[in-house]
A and B are shown apart, each in its own frame.
Chain A
Amino acid sequence: MFEAIAFYLFAFLTVAMFSITVLTSQALYALTSLAAGMIFISAFFFLLGADFLGAVQIIVYTGAVMALYAFGMMFFDTTRELKEKNSSSMIVFGLSGLAALMVVVIFVTPIASEHISAIYPMHENVGNTQEVGMILFTKYLVPFEVAAVMLLVAMISGIVLAGKKMDRSLTQMSEEEIQSMQESDKKAVL
């Protein structure tokens, strides 16, 4: 009963939030509604008994990813209205047909796969976090380490790409310094 109420409430909220993200013409509304939608999605994880996944969702998405996007938006002109693309309707029809086909497949799949057996079954009296730890550090150790290396590569590439000239602040420089810096930048690009 309460599970159903919670499910429908959060389903409505996530769909509404993500619709705002996709349809609004204001970049700030898109960012904030995306952050709200991420938090509402973590509610589904808690409903499904995946406590650790829900905590990770909140920490990673609303903590790290949203902060990164907010930081990135400071670089861009977010106050102007966004222009939308008017692509050919053939692509739109094709992709919406694909989405409809996907719904049908999703309806059929649980019927077709009724005799699936669990590879790593859950246990009754063990907490979710403990179980995740046991599986992650035994069966999925190599993918875990590879993911760690991938995150390290992403971090270094982020620093190298975005961190150029971060030590120079435009507000603390005089006009001549900015002028000469821009001219040297143009030469470097050309």
Chain B
Amino acid sequence: MMEITLNHYLILSTLLFAIGLIGVMRRKNLLMLFFATEILLNSVNIAFAAISHYYGDLTGQMFAFFVIAIAASEVAVGLGLLIIWFKRTNNIDLDAMTSMRG
């Protein structure tokens, strides 16, 4: 209980990942969906850093850096697209994005 092991960090990471999954499932607003994806990426980062620490290997931290870079570029492109969509339709609900429906 008092000694923090790798399992503690991995369980925390899973908990946060599950919270992010709940967000992805229940959100309808696309901006809130982006928040949930940020939570997903961050929970994975915790797992990478914990494994890196407990195995004495730096590879985990390297992967965490690249995950952060990907998250940053995802936000930039996603928000740009979202702003264009909002200017056109005045709405960012997922249910309204049905222009590709056959």
Contacts and interface: CB of A to CB of B under 8 A. Distances in A.
Given A85-B95, A106-B14, A151-B72, A48 B26 contact: no
Interface residues of B, number: 74
Contacts of B7: 106-107, 110
B68 A56 contact: yes
Contact of B93 (A53, A83, A135): A83
Contact of A18 (B11, B20, B28, B45): B20
Given A136-B62, A147-B66, A158-B79, A30 B57 contact: no
30 contacts: A4-B2, A7-B4, A18-B20, A22-B19, A22-B26, A27-B31, A31-B35, A38-B38, A41-B46, A61-B42, A68-B76, A76-B86, A82-B32, A85-B27, A85-B94, A85-B95, A87-B26, A95-B21, A99-B14, A99-B18, A107-B7, A107-B11, A120-B57, A120-B59, A151-B73, A154-B77, A157-B77, A158-B76, A162-B79, A162-B80
Interface of A: 1, 3-4, 7, 11, 14-15, 18-19, 21-23, 27, 30-31, 34, 37-38, 41, 44-45, 48-50, 52-53, 56-57, 60-61, 64-65, 68-69, 71-73, 75-76, 82-85, 87, 91-92, 95-96, 99, 102-103, 106-107, 109-110, 116, 118-122, 131-132, 135-136, 140, 143, 147, 150-151, 153-155, 157-158, 160-162, 164, 189
